[in-house]
Amino acid sequence: MRDRPPCDFVYVHTDIPEEMTISEWRAQRATEGQAMLAAARERRRLPAVRRWRSALAGAVRSPRLWSRAAQG
């Protein structure tokens, strides 16, 4: 077997700031991800609410009378 020198690992680039631990960085990323999902969910929800409100407004503006007295 060949004698190998010990391996040293050097990280050239990382997203983790030097003063932050890995667990703190993961927690921060998780909360950022949840906030992004909530914002995307809200963007999808707004058009649906607008459609629902416009449909409801149309139904309220033109009520139909279904009673026997109204039928004549």
Identify whether 17 is part of a domain.
no
Residue 66 domain-assigned (yes or no): no
Q: Examine residue 43 and state whether it is found in any structural domain, yes or no.
A: yes
Asked if residue 42 belongs to a domain, the reply is yes
Question: What is the reported pLDDT for 22?
Answer: 87
Number of structural domains (the chain) is 1
Residue 34 is assigned to a structural domain of this protein:
yes
- Distance (Å, rounded) from C-alpha 38 to C-alpha 69? 51
pTM of the model: 0.43
Asked whether residue 53 is domain-assigned, the answer is yes
**pLDDT digits 0-9 by tens, 6-48:** 777 665 677 788 888 889 989 999 999 999 999 998 888 888 8
Range of the domain at 53: 22-58
Question: Is 37 part of a structural domain of the chain?
Answer: yes
Specify the 3-state DSSP secondary structure of 55: helix
Q: Is the dihedral of CA 52, 53, 58, 60 positive or negative?
A: positive
